[in-house]
Amino acid sequence: MIFLTFSLLLILVTSDAEPQNVALRGRATHSTNVGSPSAAINAIDGNTDPLWARGTCFSSQSELSPWWRVDLLKTHKISHITITNRGDCCADYINGVEILIGDSLANNGNNNPRCAKITAIPLAGTQTFQCNDMAGRYVNLIRTGISGHLTFCEVQVFGVPLNNCYYHT
């Protein structure tokens, strides 16, 4: 009788490539929006124009803890996130926002670990937040415990995909 023993070693491979804006290929959703032209996808269209009337920004309805999320379609190692605020009004609608990254959709992804908290971004301002290679498929922006609108014009998520696993025998 011959016994064969196989041992499998699972190896997770990451790319050495430079981080790119992986949000451009993602799918965006939100708790609510105020209707056209403020769809969630506007915030990942690659257009940093800060004027809401041009249809390049996102805005939620006024609600408690409004949130926005991009699904990157697979887990990425995220180095940093750059956010462009509106330029026509409402600069404070981004104040207090938490940037969350993870693989869970529990509570719409709003239970994932925090990368950063936005204090303020000026009108038409752009700010970058370092995430130190946090891994996740979902990036959420949420105004936790704050009642009001959530609005911004672009979210750029710079990262590299965690490649598929392969088995070594």
Q: Please give the tally of structural domains in the chain.
A: 1
Flag whether 74 is in a domain: yes
Is 138 domain-assigned?
yes
The reported pLDDT for the residue numbered 31 is 95
Instruction: For 45, list phi and psi in degrees, rounded to 5.
Output: -90, 0
Q: How far apart are CA 73 and CA 70, in angstroms?
A: 9
Q: Which parts of the chain register pLDDT below 50?
A: 1-15, 165-169
Q: Enter the pTM of the model.
A: 0.86
Residue 106 is assigned to a structural domain of this protein: yes
The pLDDT assigned to 33 comes to: 76
Is 10 part of any domain?
no
Omega prior to 37 cis, within 30 of 0: yes
Mean pLDDT (the chain) is: 88
* 3-class DSSP string for 58-121: EECCCEECCEEEEEEEEEEEEEEEEEECCCCCCHHHHCCCEEEEECCCHHHHCCCCEEEECCCC
CATH of the domain at 121: 2.60.120.260
Q: Report yes or no: 136 and 101 within 8 Å, Cβ to Cβ.
A: yes
Domain that holds residue 149: 22-161
Cβ–Cβ < 8 Å for 129, 139: no
Span 68-77, pLDDT tens digits: 999 999 999 9
Structural domain includes residue 71: yes
Q: Residue 168: inside a domain, yes or no?
A: no
Position 3 in a domain: no
Residue 166 resides in a domain = no
